[in-house]
Amino acid sequence: MIRVHIILLTAMFLTSALASAEERQFLFNNYSHADGLPDDSITSIVQDKFGFVWVGTREGLCRYDGYSFSIPPEVENAGLLNRPIYYLFIDEGNSICALTDDGIVKLDLDTGDYYFRENSTENEILYIMPIEEGRLWTLTRHGAVILSGDLLGEEVVDLPFTPSNVFKGYNGEIWLSSSDGNIYRYDQKRKTFTGIEVFDEHSLHKGKRISLIRPVDSRFVLVSDRETCIYLVNTDRETVNCILDIQNIIDGALLQDMLSIDTGELWFATDKGLIVYDRDQDKVASYLSDPAIPLSLCGSNLRRLFKDNFGRIWIGSFYQGLSCLESSPFRFYTGSMDNKNSSLRGKTVRAFAEDSTGNIWMACEDGCIVCIDANGKSVTCVDDGVLPHEGNYQAIALYKSNIIVGSYGDGILVINPVTHKIIKRYNAGNNNVVVLLITKDNTVFAGTSHGLYRMDSTSDSFALVEGSEGF
For residue range 307-334, list pLDDT tens digits in order.
998 889 999 999 999 999 986 543 444 3
User: For position 453, what pLDDT does the model report?
Assistant: 93
Q: Which of 243, 311, 225 is nearest to 279 (CA)?
A: 243
Residue 201 makes CB contacts below 8 A (sequence gap 6+) with none
pLDDT-wise least confident of 129-138, 261-270, 377-386: 377-386
Residues 32 and 351: beta-carbon distance below 8 Å: no
pLDDT band of 199, cuts 50, 70, 90: low
| pLDDT higher than threshold 90 for residue 264 | no
pLDDT tens digits, one per residue of 83-109? 999 999 999 999 999 999 999 999 999
The H or E element spanning position 54 is strand 53-57
Asked if 131 and 137 count as a contact pair (C-beta separation under 8 A), the reply is: yes
182-187 and 174-178 strand pairing: antiparallel
Percent of the chain residues past pLDDT 90, beyond the cut: 42
In the predicted model, what is the mean pLDDT of the chain? 83
Question: φ, ψ for residue 342 (rounded to 5)?
Answer: -110, 10
d(CA 97, CA 99): 7
pLDDT of residue 386: 61
pLDDT exceeds 60 at position 22 = no
Q: Are 357 and 374 in contact (CB under 8 A)?
A: yes
Residue 200 has pLDDT above 50, yes or no: yes
pTM over 0.75: no
77, containing H or E segment: helix 73-77
Q: Give the ranges where 80-213 is alpha helix by DSSP (H).
A: none
| Per-range mean pLDDT, top range of 66-80, 196-210, 230-244 | 66-80
Is the pLDDT score of 8 beyond 60? Answer: no
3-state class (DSSP) for residue 330: coil
Name the band, by pLDDT with cuts 50, 70 and 90, for residue 162: confident
Q: Where are the beta strands (DSSP E) in 58-178?
A: 60-64, 69-70, 85-90, 95-100, 103-108, 114-118, 125-130, 136-140, 143-147, 154-157, 163-168, 174-178
Q: How far apart are CA 360 and CA 274, in angstroms?
A: 25
Residue 77, pLDDT score: 95
